[in-house]
Amino acid sequence: MARPKPFTLLPHTVPRRLTDPIVGVLARLGLSPNHLTLLGFAGNVGAGALAARGEFIAAGVLSLVASGLDLLDGALARATGRASAFGAVLDSTLDRLSEAALLGGLTFYFAQRGDREEVMLCFIAIVGSVMVSYVRARAENFGLDLREGLFTRPERVLVLSVGLIIDQTRIALWILAAVAGFTALQRLYVVWARFRRDPPPIDGARREERQP
């Protein structure tokens, strides 16, 4: 029996009829999937720098544009036959750093102003987003394809970017801090339920965990 489609608030793929024309142009320009990944990361670092200076609208717009490249690197990899294991790891790694860059910029801005509440919210949001990804990574180490999650990266990017643009950053941070943590717990529960029903072999995963 086929697995039910994982529930997410936002679609994590874009229809090919929308991406194919863009991907065709990018391929003709000679850009590789890793180029898009690096450009997206650079854009988010720039958004973090803008946020650190209090230029929230520009930071939000740049974050949306830069993170939008994340929707295209996979499509470009498939279209050009340049998908690779390293590219997938690079993409996942820079996704985490991209979120940290923007939230880090906000942390610096609020710390300079002495806004302790916002600084704490930024910290909790960073930890929550990392834990959402970490639970999935550990589950996949045991062979579980974990896609479920109420508030995964697309939702987090959208909420924070829109919050910056409409000058509701504090509310956006409260949402991120609360729901990212909930999503990590949600994924942990999904892992528990599936492993309880079908326990995986653990010897190989434990050996991997002991590696430096």
* pLDDT tens-digit readout, 1-45: 445 555 565 555 655 666 667 777 777 777 788 888 899 999 999
Could you tell me the pTM of the whole model? 0.83
Q: Is residue 6 part of a domain?
A: no
Question: Are the C-beta atoms of residues 157 and 129 closer than 8 Å to each other?
Answer: no
Q: What's the domain count of the chain?
A: 1
Q: What percent of the chain has pLDDT over 70?
A: 84
Q: Is residue 2 part of a domain?
A: no
Q: Is residue 4 part of a domain?
A: no
Q: Which amino acid is at 173?
A: L
Q: Is residue 11 part of a domain?
A: no
Domain with residue 88: its CATH number is 1.20.120.1760
Q: Is residue 7 part of a domain?
A: no
What end-to-end distance do the CA atoms of the chain give, in Å? Answer: 39
Task: State the pLDDT confidence band at 202, using cuts at 50, 70 and 90.
Answer: low
pLDDT tens sequence across 77-102: 777 777 788 888 888 889 899 999 99
HEC-encoded secondary structure of 91-151: HHHHHHHHHHHHHHHHHHHHHHHCCHHHHHHHHHHHHHHHHHHHHHHHHHHCCCCCCCCCC
From residue 16, give the alpha-carbon distance in Å to each of 10, 22, 23, 143.
17, 10, 9, 28
**Residue 19: predicted pLDDT:** 66
Domain housing 128: 16-199+205-209
Residues annotated as part of the active site: 95
Question: Are the C-beta atoms of residues 104 and 50 closer than 8 Å to each other?
Answer: no
Q: Is residue 8 part of a domain?
A: no
d(CA 204, CA 193): 21
206 has a pLDDT exceeding 70: no
Q: Is residue 116 part of a domain?
A: yes
65 has a pLDDT exceeding 80: yes
Q: Is residue 43 part of a domain?
A: yes
